[in-house]
Structures are given as structure tokens and as C-alpha cells.
Amino acid sequence: MDIGTGHAWLIPALSVLSSLVISLALLLKSVHVLPKNGSYLSIAAIGSGFLLFFPILRDLLSNGPREYGLPWLLVGGTEIRWSMLLDPLSVTMLGLVTLVALCVQVYSLCYMHGHPRFGWYYAVQSLFAASMLGLVLADNLLLLYITWELVGACSYLLIGFYYEQRSAAEAAKKAFVTTRLGDVGLLIGILLLFKVTGTFQLSGIFDAVATGKLDSATVNWAALLIFLGAMGKSAQFPFHVWLPDAMEGPTPVSALIHAATMVTAGVYLVARTYPIFLAAETVLSFVTIIGLITTLMAALLALVATDIKRVLAYSTVSKLGFMMLALGSGSLAAGIFYLITHGFFKALLFLGSGNVIHATERQDMRELGGLRNSMPVTTATFVIGSLALAGIAPLSGFFSKDEVLIAVREHQSPFVLVLTLFSLFITGVFIARLVLRTFFGAQTHDSSHYHEAGWNMTGPMIVLAALSIVGGLVVFPFFGEMLGLGGGFMEFINPSSGAHGNAGATVHAAQFDTAMALLSTLVSGSGLLIGWIFYGARLWSPQAISKRMTPVVVLLENKYFLDSFYQAIINGVVLVAGLLVATFDRVVVNDVAVNGLGRIAVFAGDRLKYHVTGKLNNYGMGMVVGAVIIAAAAFTFLS
Amino acid sequence: MTAFQLLFYLLSAASIVGGIGVVWSTNVVHSALFLVLSLSAVAGVFLVLFADFLALVQILIYGGAITILILFAMMLTRVADEAVVSDSPQKPWGVAAAAAFFGITAYAIYNTPWNVGTAAIQRVPFRDLGVSLFTQWAIPFEVASLVLLVGLIGAIIIARPEDRE
Amino acid sequence: MIPLQHALIFGALLFSLGLYGMLARRHAVMVLMAIELMLNAVNVNLVAFSAYVAPGAFVGQIFAIFVITIAAAEIGLALAIVLRVYRNKATANVDEIDLLKW
């Protein structure tokens, strides 16, 4: 039996199964029966998913995209299906999600070791991975929405994993509520599309868009609403506030959220429904603007953050904006390419920061330094990840970043390109600051008892580091052909080879643009250099600079006052409105309506009970009078 | 006015008078005897309306069984010992309510278009009635007999003096 | 021939008398007698309809027979109850049997 695209459903199904088994064991209070409290079960599920990815990819390459499913509901004339689409886009994501989830789960074996809710952690991890895999495979918007919400719910559980700490509970709530704001938009968008096309199937909707059955206003609205959902999930400005706070979760969870599951869902959603966006020019510009704003403002925030996870979180926000910028520039392939390589090195960076936190139990870089001696593997892999993030040749980030820059150069104004390059410059500065202050320089604490993490923590990091180094090469046709992709990654992913031919898609083949490569390397390199001057060589003092730019620093340290602004809105509008509603509920609904009715009944009963005399004659009189009245009424009104 | 009509009005008048006596008399035994008069007159009305079998049943059951039963009940509840039985204080209201009921019924009777056939009233032979009762109406008939049986047993159990242990 | 309406008016009169008896009498046996009057009024109506509206079908008479049967069962049971109540409360006046009032 050949294993191929037809078996893709097994991948999420296995993880769901493992999640259910672990949860059941938890319910029966017998999780210790499972191997390693269920963690091996979860790892086995996601590991087999990752292994299944290869035959599926081979089958996809030889037999082309495939769409299949089971009927689920028949409502009126609409059939809703459990259906999945295996095309280059979804299969690529499949590989990324299973790989990162596998790395994170292996890593967590050590990181979460001994935690009282160890089994629960793996149950949710499994479900989280399964939801994301379901989201990736989903071929209709309803299924997509369900898995989308499942991803949100699981992230809520994992961010709030240390719910004994108030800050973790708050962060989980903030993440859930903020993304919900966007989800409402997504739901409305899905329903709008269903209303005008009568189907949830992506293929049907794309056909309707392609044949021009929908007027341009509808397409624009639908695209905008879908993008709202993506903005919430992918932490785009102004919904980005939840992601830095999501650091309250365990660090492996952060790695998973940032690299493969949660935030990439938004980018993937836009990519999945890209034909709609291509038909909506206005929204595409909106995507560009939001992406640009996000990438710039988050990069600047990363400059002043001191918590290492927070710096990484802002860098993720910045890079998500970068991906959106690529998508807004009409290059699906560049956006997804960046998503994949970013997945590798961002997971790596988070796992590295996890090592640091695990060993030192500190995560403020002002309290850290000189860890390179005690943690050589972590330092080496972390530096690789950082250089990839900065986009230094020949690491993967270099190639993927260049593809995005080329797309931006070709489709946007030079002004946008300049701003994008500026964000890359800032990236170089903040990542240099992070690496130099954490791993180099003077030791701020006695590090003799710090030690390198075990193999199941460093192992996944080494795998990810290797991929961060070579992952970018798939962009070249020669490398892609070596893997059997039939050309470079860009040709592989580009929508025209997808199941739904998107004639309008702007496809550009991978091109190694020397000028752009030089320019971007120059920019990133100078960023790194500036960072080194400030934090490595300490030739200039960053304090002197920040003193001269006090207003800017204050603005950044307060995160543009967005959090305060939102809090003010919540206090001034939401809570006041809630108070009004609560008062209305108490006074009108409760006192007047509910209790009032009750009081009327009591009062009436009090008065009327004296007419219940218990005397037969009185009752008979009542019957006769009633009969006479009814008869009289019947003769008066009915005849 | 034919003899039939005369007979009908006379019998109904007798029945009404009997009815008035039943509800107006202050002596319970008189009431019971007026009931016999009223019900017997109703039997006569049945005869006039060619319901011979019903007339017989009426005399047998009402004139005989039920009246006897009522007299027994009076004896056992010693109501016959009282010279005069008092009525409920809502007596005047009772008059008004009953009059209103009669008024509305009479109004209904005279304002409803009755689909009266032109055929003359026919005498129903006992034989036809009997055959019909035991064929077409056999199941209700049997159920009615069951009801009577249950009523009989129930009456015995209710009226029986409590066992003294 | 007697008009149908006259027979019905006779029935209505008899029924109203029974009604009055039910409303005005206090003694349980008297109330039961009033009820007998009402049942008879119903029978008169049934027989009249049977004779005038559907001559030859005599369904009304069959109904009347069942009414009489039920009436017999009813009066038997009702009198048993009256006896029982009289034994327990030493009265058979319906307005003194008012345990179910407020």
C-alpha cells in the first residue's frame, strides 16, 4: 500500500487521538500508566505525522494536488464536508508544523520535566498541533474556522499554563480576547462569502471570484473581514499587544506559537484565501500598510525590551508584518517562504532562550551575560538563529528575506522599500544587542553552576539550526530539483500549480538579484555592526543616545502607550457600558420584570385565595357563570 | 292540536312541576317523591317520542332503582329526621344563574337552523335496537358493563364500615 | 307533530331546574337528585334529536342508554361516598365539607 496524499488525514487524527487518550487517562487519574506520563504518546503521534509528510510530499510531486473528504452535514441544499486540500501550500505547512511541533515536544520532555501538570501539558500540546494541522488541511471555510478557534482555545490553555501566576492568567485572557476581536471579523467574512456564493468550499468560492460572479465591493469586504481575523491571530498592528504578553507561557509553547502554530495561522489564512485578496486591490494595499506598520513598530519596540523572550516576541511581530508585506506585495510564494524559514530560526531562538531560562532562571538580559562559556551549544545555535533572523548570507533568512524585498521592490513604491530596509536595519541592531548582552560580555552572575542542557533540549535545536542554515537553499532550482521539487521553492509553491488555478496571481520565479542581495546584506550588516558598537565593543554608550532621545525612548518603553490606550478604552467604554447593562439587568430585568411578576402572583394569590371556599355550591356557581359568559361571548362575537 | 301534542305538553308540564318540587321542597322525602313524578313523566315523553325501550328502562332504573337508592341514602344519613332542610345562602344567585342559563340555551335553540328531516318519526323496534346494541355497539356496551362492575365494587368498598382490628 | 324546539325547550327547562338545585341545595343527596334531573334533561335532548334529525338511525337512543348506565354507576358511587362522609363528619351538607379551602 502506497502512502500518499490520501493518508494526510492521519496526521491530525493521530494527534487528536493521543490528546484524547492522555485526557482520558488524566480524567481517570491514571496518566502514570502511559509511557512517560503520556508524553511519549504525544511525541509518537506528531513524529509519525512528520514521517508521513515525506511520502505525502512525494505523492504530491508525482500525482499533483488532491482534494477529498467526507460529507458531514446536509443543510438545505448545502453540503458541508469534512474535506481537505493537499496542495503545495498545505503540504509545505504540514511539514513545518509537524517538524516544529516534534522539536518542541521533544524539547519539552526535559524543560517541563517534573511539572505536576506534565500530562496535561502534552494533552494540550497534541491538541494544539492537531488543530493547526487541521487548519492547514482544511478545504472549507467552516472547518477552517472551527480549527482556527481550536487553535485559539489551545493557545489560551498553554499561555495560561502557569495559571497559578496572575500574570499568566491575564496574558492568556488577553491573547484570547484580542484574537477574538479579529475572529469576529473572520466569521462575518465567512458568512458573507457563504451568503453570496452558497458554499463554504474554497474551490467554489475561488471559482465565484474568478468568474466575476461577485461584485468588487463584496470581494473587498470579504477580504477585509478575513484579513481582520488574520490580523488578530498574526498579531498585526493594532492587535499585536497580546503576543509579547503571551511570553507568560512555558518557553517551548512560545516557540511553537511563534514558529509554527498560532501566529502563522493568520499568514496562512491570507495565503489560503489568496485568490480573494488578489481580486481585492484595495485590501491588498491595506495588507501592505498594516504589514509595514507592524514590521516597523515592532522592530523599534524590540530595541528597548529587556526580557529576552519579549525581544524575540517583538521580532516575531515584526517578521509577521514582513510576511504580510510580502503577501500585500502580491507574492504568495515569498511570504510563505519567509514563513517557513522564519519557523525554523524562530523556533530555534525560542528554544535557545528556553535553555537560558532553564539554566539561569532569569530572563532579563540586564541580569545575564557571558553565558557562552557555560552553554556552548546553546550559544552556537542561538547565534546561527540570530544571524538567520538578521538575514546574513548564506543562512536561510537571507534568501527568504531577499525574495520578500524583491517582491516589495517590484510592486510597491521605493518609499515602502526604504522603510522595509530600515526595519531590517533595526532587526540587526536588536538581535545583536540580544546576543551580545546574553551570551557575550562579562558574566553578571556566578555561572559556574550553569550547565548546558541535556540532549533532548539541544538535539532539536541542532536540527533546527541545521535547517536554518540550509533551509534557504530550496529557493534555488538546482537544490529544489535535488529534493525532487521540480524547480525552486517559489515555483513549487506558486499558486498556478495549486488545485485552484489563480490566473491573476503574480508569479515571479526565484531570482537571485545581486543588487538587492548586496543592499540588504549591507543594511543588515550595518545594523549588526551598530549593535556590536553599542553592546559588544561598547564604543558608544546606548545610555547617551537614549538620553538625547528621551521622548522616543519613553514612547517605546511604554509600547506607544497602546496598552494604556486599550486599558483606557476598556475602563472608559467597556466597563462603563457593562456597568450600565448590569444596572439595567439588576433594576429592570431582575427587580421589575422577574421579581415584579413574582410579586404580582403572590399579591394576587393573597387576595384571590379567599374565593377558594371549598364549598361545592360556590364552585358550581363559578362553572355556570363561566359557561354562560362563554356561550354569550360565542353568540356575540362568533355569529 | 292532536292528542299526541296534548299528551306531550301535559307530560312535560308534569315533569317540570316534578322538577320544581324536587328543588323547591323543604322536605327531603317529598323531594324524592317529586323526583319519581318528574322522571316518570320523562318516561312518558320518551314514549311520545317513540323511544319505547328507553321509556321502559327509564321507569325501571329511575323510577325503581335510583329512587330506592336515594331513599336509602336519606335514611342512612338521617336527613329525613329533619323537618325542614335549609338551602344554601346563594339561593337567589342560583335562581339568577339558572335563569341566565335557560335564557342563553333558549336563545340558542331558537336561533339555530335545525336540519330537521321531513320523514315522520318512526317507532324503533326493540329488535333493531337490540341487534344494533350487540353488534355495532358491542364494545361500548361491554365497556359500560365493566364500568358498572367497577362502580359496584367501588361503592361497596367505599361504603363498607372500616375494619376494626 | 311536536316541533323539535319544544322538546328542546323542555329539556333546557329541566336542565336549568337541575342546575338551580345544584347551586342552591345544601344536602348532598338533594344535590345528587338535581344532577339526576340534569342527566334526564340530556336524555330528552338526545332522544329528541334522534327522532327528528336522524329518524331510523336511533343513535341518540343508544347514547341515552349509555348515559343511563353511567348515571346508575355514578349515583351508586356518589351515594356510597355520601355515606362515608356522613360517617366521618356526621354531616352530609356539602358546604360543611370544605377541607380543600385555603
Q: Do the beta carbons of residue A270 and residue A287 sit within 8 Å? A: yes
- The minimal CB distance from A631 to the residues B90, B94, B104 is found for B104
Residues 62-91 of C with CB under 8 A from B: 62, 64-66, 68-77, 79-84, 86-87
Average pLDDT over residues A605-620: 85
The verdict on a CB contact (< 8 Å) between C22 and A615 is no
What tens digit of pLDDT does each residue of A243-279 get? 888 888 888 888 888 888 888 888 999 988 888 888 8
Average pLDDT score over residue span A440-455: 69
A612, A615, A624 member nearest C19 (Cβ): A624
- Chain C residues near residue A610 by CB distance under 8 angstroms: 102
Lowest-pLDDT choice from A395-404, A416-425, A541-550, A584-593: A541-550
Nearest CA in chain B to C42: B42
C7-18: average pLDDT? 93
Q: Tell me whether residues B51 and C12 touch, CB distance under 8 A.
A: no
Average pLDDT of span B1-19: 88
Q: Which ipTM score applies to this complex?
A: 0.89
CB pairs under 8 A between A and B: 27
Q: Which of B52, B84, B88, B160 to probe by mutation at the C interface, max C CB count within 10 Å?
A: B88
The vertex-A23 CA angle with A21 and A27, nearest 5°, equals 115
Q: Over range A118-130, report the average pLDDT.
A: 89
With H, G, I as helix, E, B as strand and everything else as coil, classify residue A75: strand
Chain C residues whose beta carbon lies within 8 Å of the beta carbon of residue A631: none
3-class secondary structure per residue, B76-130: HCCHHHCCCCCECCCHHHHHHHHHHHHHHHHHHHHHCCCCCCCCCCCCCCHHHHH
pLDDT at A337: 87
- Residue A448's Cβ-count burial label (10 Å; 0-12, 13-18, 19+) is exposed
Q: What is the pLDDT of residue A507?
A: 45
- pLDDT value for A72: 84
What's the pLDDT at A505? Answer: 41
Query: Is residue A528 scored above 90 in pLDDT?
Result: no
Band (pLDDT 50/70/90 cuts) for residue A496 is very low
Q: Are strands A66-75 and A78-86 parallel, antiparallel or unpaired?
A: antiparallel
- How confident is the model at residue B147, as a pLDDT? 92
If pLDDT is split at 50, 70 and 90, which confidence band does B143 have? very high
The gap from C-alpha A51 to its chain's centroid, in whole angstroms, comes to 24
What letter would DSSP give residue A362? -
Closest by CA position to A72, among listed A187, A208, A226, A200: A200
Cell numbers for B69, please give them. 337508592
C-alpha of B24 from chain center: 17
Chain A residue with the nearest C-alpha to that of B102: A628
Q: Which of A301-310, A485-494, B33-42 has the least mean pLDDT?
A: A485-494
- A177: enclosing H helix or E strand: helix A166-197
**Per-residue pLDDT averaged across B121-141, rounded?**
86
More confident residue, A540 or A132: A132
Phi, psi (5° rounding) for residue B125? -70, 145
Determine the pLDDT at residue A380.
87
Residue ranges of A 586-625 with Cβ closer than 8 A to chain C: 609-610, 612-617, 620-621, 624
Q: How far apart are CA A233 and CA A222, in angstroms?
A: 17
pLDDT at residue C37, as a whole number: 92
| pLDDT digit string, tens, across residues C81-97 | 888 888 888 888 888 88
Q: Which of residues 522-541 of A touch C (CB under 8 A)?
A: none
Q: What would the DSSP string read from start to end of B55-74?
A: HHHHIIIIIIIIHHHHHHHH
Chain B hits for A632, Cβ within 8 Å: 104
Mean pLDDT of A468-479: 78
pLDDT given for residue B20 in this prediction: 92
**Alpha-carbon gap, residue A473 to A337, rounded angstroms:** 11
Closest chain A C-alpha to C67 CA, distance in angstroms: 21
A485 CA to centre of own chain:
27
Task: Look at residue A115 in the predicted model and tell me its pLDDT.
Answer: 83
Q: Which residues of C touch B32 (CB under 8 A)?
A: 33
Taking contacts as CB-CB distances below 8 angstroms, the residues of chain B near C55 are 117, 119-122
C78: which 3 cell numbers?
356518589
* Residue tagged 492522555 (cell numbers): A22
Question: Is residue A416 very low, low, confident or very high in pLDDT (cuts 50, 70, 90)?
Answer: confident
pLDDT at site C44: 92
B79: chain C residues, CB-CB within 8 Å: 27, 29, 92
pLDDT at residue A241 in the model:
86
In the stretch 566-625 of chain A, residues with CB closer than 8 A to chain B read 615, 617-618, 621, 624-625
| Highest mean predicted confidence (pLDDT) among A297-311, A408-422, A453-467, B141-155 | B141-155
Q: What percent of chain A has pLDDT over 90?
A: 10
Taking CA–CA distances from A625, the nearest residue in chain B reads: B97
pLDDT score for A562: 79
- pLDDT more than 70, % of chain A: 94
- Note the pLDDT of residue B48: 86
pLDDT of residue A485: 67
pTM for the structure as a whole: 0.68
Cβ contact, residue pair C19, A616, below 8 Å: no
Which other chains touch chain A, taking contact as 3+ CB pairs less than 8 Å apart?
A: B, C
Instruction: Confirm or reject contact between B102 and chain A (CB < 8 A).
Output: no
d(CA A303, CA A122): 34
pLDDT at A497: 41
Q: How many residues does chain B have?
A: 165
Question: pLDDT per residue over A331-356, tens digit each?
Answer: 888 888 888 889 888 888 888 888 88
Q: Is the pLDDT of residue A479 over 80?
A: no
Amino acid at A120: W
Cβ–Cβ of B107/A618 closer than 8 Å? no
Query: Do C95 and A615 make contact, defined as CB atoms within 8 angstroms?
Result: yes
**Helices (H), ranges, A306-367:** 308-328, 332-360
* DSSP 8-state assignment for residue A3: -
- Burial (CB < 10 A; 0-12, 13-18, 19+), residue A478, is exposed
pLDDT band, residue A500 (cuts 50/70/90): very low
How far apart are the CA of A600 and the nearest CA of chain C, in angstroms? 19
Residue B31 has pLDDT above 70, yes or no: yes
Q: Does B98 touch chain A (CB under 8 A)?
A: yes
| pLDDT, averaged across chain A | 84
> What pLDDT, on the 0 to 100 scale, is given for residue B164?
61
B118 pLDDT higher than 90? no
Express each pLDDT in A545-598 by its tens digit: 777 777 777 777 777 777 788 888 888 888 899 999 999 999 988 888 889 999
What domains does chain C contain, in order, with CATH numbers? 4-89 (1.10.287.3510)
Would you give the DSSP letter of residue A317? H
